[in-house]
Amino acid sequence: MTPTMHSQPQPSGAMPPGTRVEKINAKRGDSHANGALGTLSSSIRPQMWHGRVRQGYFVRWDGCAVPVLVTDDSIRRLAKG
């Protein structure tokens, strides 16, 4: 099943577009290592991935022109400062 773009109001707990995030929990084969910074460009509806309901986000990593799909357990919101 291919996730679809989210065009309705975001579910509670979803981070809004424009939120700055940091890559965490990098695994072998991931496009970016822990500590990479980026900006959320959009989100998709919560989906079942690997037996868990997860929120999906498209992140535009700094220095990368193409957004990448990641799940909520691989990014964290940066504190405003």
* 49 assigned to some structural domain: yes
**Higher pLDDT among residues 46 and 8, named by residue:** 46
Number of domains present in the structure of the chain: 1
Q: pTM for this structure?
A: 0.75
Q: Going along 2-80, which residue ranges are E strands?
A: 20-23, 37-49, 52-61, 68-71, 75-77
* 50 assigned to some structural domain: yes
What sign does the dihedral 57-32-23-64 (CA atoms) show? Answer: negative
* 5 assigned to some structural domain: no
* 69 assigned to some structural domain: yes
* 6 assigned to some structural domain: no
Q: What is the pLDDT of residues 55-78, one digit of tens each?
A: 999 999 999 999 999 999 999 999
* 41 assigned to some structural domain: yes
Range of the domain at 47: 20-77
